[in-house]
Amino acid sequence: MPLNMAAAAAPPAGGGGCCPAGPGGGGSVPVLFCFSVFARPSTVPHGAGYELLIQKFLSLYGDQLDMHRKFVVQLFAEEWSQYIDLPKGFVVSERCKVRLVPLQIQITTLGNLTPSSTVFFCCDMQERFRPAIKYFGDIISVGQRLVQGARILGIPVIVTEQYPKGLGSTVQEIDLTGVKLVLPKTKFSMVLPEVEAALADIPGVRSVVLFGVETHVCIQQTALELVGRGVEVHIVADATSSRSMMDRMFALERLARTGIIVTTSEAILLQLVADKDHPKFKEIQNIIKASAPESGLLSKV
């Protein structure tokens, strides 16, 4: 999987391991970090994985990297006498050589959605936010449409709740029957180890449809982390809000400029069925028969 240097990315898919973790260990391991015509020796902790290697590349070459380019990390494999893409699950256990390679082909986010490669993220739609979030009733209504649509189409839904002990559970209007995961959190981003593990259990995930609150905090931080891990993110503008419209609108604008897709609930659901002859089209049509509330968005256009 290509790496976007604008944010930390997740490990690329691949097979095997040329430098698997060995028994014991500890201390530092020498690694030669190569980029372009440069080769700089350094050390990383024994057992360091992909993310630590990326951090080291950034510390060594950050001022020379085009953060808008796509890159892959490769490992020099003695058995092949050449570089190979970094194997999945790779950790450093012995002296080795890695390099960062820019891709020559521009990778464009097309925004195509299919049920088999999509997961819905419902972020912190909790009772205590009701009086504070702008247009929260509208956001709840659209959020329920999305969760219902995901259930009809067999799309996994992951739900988080920010400090539920103090902020309460997900609002009752949103039916969480059959969702894959409901997880409490204190971190603003939804990208938690449990969420990453749940995503790893779902084969072929390429896209996340993200909605909830607040747009400029948890939604924004979740979206940026997911994009950094190579996931295409669709933010549902009519299903996310903040305590202030200023924060909401500036966050949506910033996210759109980073290449994240900002769209609407109806566009998402119809893109997922794609055809009036889809066996679930009638059920989805019933959900969107009445137009979604505009939740203050039109007043800001």
pTM of the model: 0.67
Left, alpha or beta for 23 (phi > 0: left; psi -120 to 50: alpha)?
A: beta
Active site residue 277: no
- Please list, in sequence order, all residues whose beta carbon lies within 8 angstroms of the beta carbon of residue 221, skipping any fewer than 6 positions away: 188, 189
pLDDT at 230: 82
> Which two structure tokens, joined as six digits, stand for 295?
């939740």
The kind and range of the H/E element at 207 are strand 207-213
- Mean pLDDT per segment of 10 residues, for the chain of length 301 residues? 50 40 67 90 94 91 73 90 90 94 62 94 97 97 98 98 95 96 97 92 92 98 90 96 97 92 97 96 96 86 46
Catalytic residue among 34, 122, 123, 218: 218
Q: Identify the helix (H) or strand (E) that includes residue 178.
A: none
Q: Which residues are 48's β-sheet partners?
A: none
Specify the amino acid at residue 201: D
d(CA 239, CA 146): 9
Please pick, among 96, 180, 185, 238, the residue that the annotation labels catalytic: 185
Amino acid sitting at position 40: R
> pLDDT at position 95, please?
95
Residue 285 tokens read as 């049509």
Is 282 an active-site residue?
no
- pLDDT score of 2: 57
Catalytic residue among 56, 124, 138, 238: 124
Is 201 known to be catalytic? no
Given this model, what pLDDT does residue 67 score?
A: 62
